[in-house]
Amino acid sequence: MSDLKLIGSRPEVKSAVLSDLAGAFLDAVREPDGENVAAVTGFLTSTMVQAGEQLGLGALRTVSFAGQARACLVAVRSDSVVTAFIEPPTSVATVERVLDPSDSSPRGR
């Protein structure tokens, strides 16, 4: 099962977009503006990869942003990016575990 279908089946995930690393739209679940989300995520991912390299963090895996009512999780794969909009924002760790069940870090618990 693809990452998009896997997280799209979660009730916390209100919408999700699959794009390539350059920001080209590939697919979406419950997201009417998937092309714009893909483009913005492509730019964001490129910028965050550069920042991570400068900071010596290694390969970028995930980035999350949370507001009061909603969160956004960006998961970087070798050839694609999955962006998920999550409600409530406290459910980000749950969705991260679905995408990477082998992650045993404290933030993944």
- For domain 3-101, the question of CATH label 3.30.450.30 is answered with yes
Would you say 70 and 48 are in contact if contact means Cβ atoms under 8 Å apart?
A: no
In three-state secondary structure terms, 102 is coil
Locate the domains of the chain by residue range: 3-101
Burial class (CB in 10 A: 0-12, 13-18, 19+), 31: buried
pLDDT band per the 50, 70, 90 thresholds, residue 109: very low
Burial class (CB in 10 A: 0-12, 13-18, 19+), 29: middle
pLDDT digit string (tens) for 17-58? 999 999 999 999 999 999 999 999 999 999 999 999 999 998
Give pTM, 2 decimals: 0.87
